[in-house]
Structure 1
Amino acid sequence: MTADIDKETLIYTIIANIPAGKVASYGQVATLAGYPQNSRLVGRLLKVMPNDSVIPWHRVVNSQGKISFPEGSDKYQQQRQKLLLEGVLFKKDKVNMREYRWE
């Protein structure tokens, strides 16, 4: 197994452990995986994740608490709806990271 595969597995495992009703930022996931300068890698891994994956990708937002998909896009609406169904509330277009951030 290569180091890259280990890194990917670790990142996916961390995302899989974000509980319902909580969110984590890309940078937070990268830091928890031991790669604090790799938030873009987290985004790339989420982008290539299979559509049938059970990993809760929707619980990862940017550091400002915003959904990274273009506002109004299908993916933006899907992520927002999944978070709302878990009780994560938005103020305008942001999640309150103090309240909903996974610790």
Structure 2
Amino acid sequence: MPDLSAAERILAAIRAVPRGQVAGYGMIARRAGLPGRARMVARVLGQTDDPQLPWHRILRSDGRIAFPKDSPGWLEQGQRLRAEGVNVRDGRVRMPKDDESLDAALWRPR
């Protein structure tokens, strides 16, 4: 299998976020093997036109929607998250702690 580009790895990491869960830009960068490249994640998201990509599951590290408050994107992202059962309050979501991640659950010492 050929090596995936950085953008392809980012998109794969976004697609892997399960329905009803969220991740931060930095977490996606780390999962894509690009630690410290949260802004690259934002750029890739902004350039994609894949209607199947669950872009709405990706938030700022503090749980806030990155669009300006009350903009069409802000409203749509909140609506999509709520439709998946995510508790969104004033454009903010409680972000999972690192130890609540699937990777941590699978690999933490018992």
TM-score (norm 1): 0.87
Instruction: Give runs of aligned pairs for residues 47-66 of structure 1, distance below 5 A.
Output: 47-50=46-49, 52-66=50-64
Runs of 4 or more off by more than 4 Å in structure 1? none
Q: 1:10-25 maps to which residues of 2 (within 5 A)?
A: 10-25=9-24
CA distance in 2, matches of 1:102, 1:69: 25
Q: How does 1:19-58 map to 2 (within 5 A)?
A: 19-50=18-49, 52-58=50-56
Q: 2:66 aligns with which of 62, 65, 68?
A: 68
Provide the rounded CA distance (Å) in 1 between the counterparts of 2:53 and 2:82. 17
Give the gaps of 5 or more residues in structure 2: 103-110
Note the C-alpha offset of 1:94. Answer: 1.4
Whole-angstrom CA distance in 2 between matches of 1:80 and 1:18: 16
Secondary structure of the 1:98 match is coil
1:58-80 deviations in Å (ceiling 9; x for gaps): 00000000000000000100000
What is the alpha-carbon root mean square deviation over aligned residues? 1.8
| TM-score for both structures, normalised by structure 2 | 0.81
Give structure 1 stretches of 5+ with no counterpart.
none
1:14-73 Cα shifts (integer Å, max 9, x gaps): 1011111000000000011111110000000101111x4211000000000000000000
Matched pairs, number: 98
Deviation, 1:102, is 5.2
